[in-house]
Structures are given as structure tokens and as C-alpha cells.
Amino acid sequence: MLAIERHRKILNVLAREGSVRVVELAERFGVTEETIRRDLAKLEAQGKIVRSHGGALMSETEDSLRPFAWREVAFEREKEAIGNVAISRIGEDERILLDASTTCWHMAKRLEDHPLTVVTNSLQIPAALSTRSHIDVHVLGGRLGKQSLSFIGPTAEEQLRNYHVDKLFLSCKGADLDRGISDVTEAQAHLRHIMLECADKKYLLIDHSKFGVRSLAHICDISVFDEVITDSGTDPAVIERLRETGVETTVVPVPAE
């Protein structure tokens, strides 16, 4: 089978199944795993897929919201590295607000069990913190977004306005240095905008794939944040521009696979 034909068939598999592992593709096409990795590297360079640890996922279009299960493994190593640094910004007995992003979910899974108050609109984060006896978890209610596994809408917004926190950790769909950060729906963007009003310090957790993306609904300018935490895959020119604006920017090295 020619490589171009194999690429087409790989895309067909991903269109049907959403994600697939390298070993499964190698068995399916009767080639080595190294050949499949080269195939996936070429498809990723064309923007058609996203490689994950041991496999690949269909590329996300700019103004769509993939299911949580897709997003939790996309750029997983980057999100874990960013989350670990974000945790170091938290002190004991602080009140923090975590949005429903998968980056914050990776962060929550690694929080140590010390006195802390966590407010979130996520369905997954409370489950990740359910065994931490010293962490007090407050969950916003409202309408459940089935793709994001988060609570959104007027009820969540009204409840959120009753809280004041020391620190907010937030991600988004896209970040453009000229137009600010944005999200895929007005409901998601509006709730995140209210989150910003609730916090003394604001942290933007964003992997390199989000820069240069302009999604549907504007949230705020990047200058609103006290610190941007991103990974080493981010374009150095973007990092330089961020720092020129006066926003503290931390670049996190990502461990090799």
C-alpha cells in the first residue's frame, strides 16, 4: 500500500473512531509501528490530526468543542507539565477557582491533600478531588454541557457571583495576542468572564496549540492575567511579545515521550 493511500485510510479510521493507537494501526495495515509514527507525524504537520501518547486523534476544528474524552488526551504531556507548575502557585488555606478545562482537570488530579477550598463548574474535577479529605469542594450547578462536562448558563453564573477567591486558574479554546482569548460558545466565554471578576490573581494555563487561534466568543485581553503558563512548544516570538506586554510568562519544559 502506498503511503498516501495509508494516510487516507488512517484518516477514515479516525473519522469513524475519534482516536486510535499506533499498535492498532500497525496491525491493521501490516506495517511497523515506526512506519505508522512517520505517517502520523506527516498528518499532524498537515494539521489533519493531533498525536497523543501512543496514538492519534482527529484534529479539532477551530469553532467546535470536542468531547472531554478527546481533549483529556490531546497534548496530555503539555497539560500535565503546565498543571504541575500551576500547583506550585497555590498556598495552604487558599480559595481557588478552577474552570472546566482539561488542563485544570490534570492539575486537580495532582493536588496534594492539604487545607484548600476549590470552586469549579467542572463535573470531572470534583470526582478527581473526592478522596482529598482536607480539600473543600464547591460545585456550581446549572445546565450541563455534555461535550465539556461542565455546568454553564444563568444558574451557574448567578452562583458564581456569590464567590470570591484568591486565585483563578483558567484555560480557553484560543489565544491571539492582538484579539485576546476566546472560547467556542458565548455561554462558555461569558462564564469565564465572570470567573475573572471573582479572583484576586488570575492565571492563564495554555498549551502551545492554542496560540494564534481565534474562536467564536471573546473572553478578555491577555493583559488581564497576572501570569501566563505555557509549554516549551510555544513559538519564541509569541513568548517575547507576551513579555513585552508586561505579562509574567512562564515556559514549562515538556518531558520527552
Expressed as residue numbers, the domain containing 109 is 76-252
pLDDT at 63 over 50: no
pLDDT at 135 over 90: yes
Kindly give, in sequence order, each residue whose CB lies less than 8 Å from that of residue 43, ignoring residues fewer than 6 positions away. Answer: 7, 10, 11, 49, 56
Model pLDDT, residue 18: 63
The answer on 27 and 143 residing in a single domain is no
Residue 65 lies in a domain: no
Residue 69 lies in a domain: no
Q: What is the pLDDT of residues 68-127, one digit of tens each?
A: 555 555 678 899 999 999 999 999 999 999 999 999 999 999 999 999 999 999 999 999
The answer on 208 and 125 residing in a single domain is yes
Q: What is the pLDDT of residues 177-215, one digit of tens each?
A: 999 999 988 888 999 999 999 999 999 999 998 998 888
Q: Hey, is 213 helix, strand or coil?
A: coil
pLDDT at 255 over 80: no
The answer on 107 and 44 residing in a single domain is no
Residue 70 lies in a domain: no
The answer on 92 and 209 residing in a single domain is yes
The answer on 18 and 124 residing in a single domain is no
The answer on 135 and 32 residing in a single domain is no
For 155-180, the three-class secondary structure string (H helix, E strand, C coil) is HHHHHHCCCCEEEEEECCCEEECCCE
| DSSP per-residue letters across 69-119 | HHHTTTTHHHHHHHHHHHHTT--TT-EEEE-S-HHHHHHHHT--SSSEEEE
Residue 68 lies in a domain: no
The answer on 53 and 87 residing in a single domain is no
The answer on 217 and 111 residing in a single domain is yes
Residue 28 lies in a domain: yes
The answer on 53 and 81 residing in a single domain is no
The answer on 137 and 94 residing in a single domain is yes
pLDDT at 223 over 50: yes
Round the average pLDDT of the chain to a whole number and report it. Answer: 89
pLDDT at 62 over 50: no
pLDDT at 47 over 80: no
CA-wise closest residue to 225 among 242, 244, 208? 242
The Cα–Cα gap between 168 and 192 comes to 10
Q: What's the rounded mean pLDDT across residues 167-173?
A: 96
Residue 53 lies in a domain: yes
Residue 257 lies in a domain: no
Half-sphere exposure of 134 (CA within 13 A, CB side): 9
Angle at the Cα of 172 from the Cα atoms of 162 and 134, rounded to 5 degrees: 50
Kindly report the CATH number assigned to the domain that includes residue 238.
3.40.50.1360
Position 229 confidence tier, pLDDT thresholds 50, 70, 90: very high
Look at the chain and report how many structural domains it folds into.
2
Kindly give, in sequence order, each residue whose CB lies less than 8 Å from that of residue 178, ignoring residues fewer than 6 positions away. Answer: none
The answer on 82 and 46 residing in a single domain is no
pTM of structure: 0.74
Beta-bridged to residue 152, according to DSSP, are 143
Model pLDDT, residue 237: 95
Residue 71 lies in a domain: no
Kindly report the CATH number assigned to the domain that includes residue 37.
1.10.10.10
Model pLDDT, residue 257: 59
C-alpha cell at 114: 492539604
The answer on 109 and 49 residing in a single domain is no
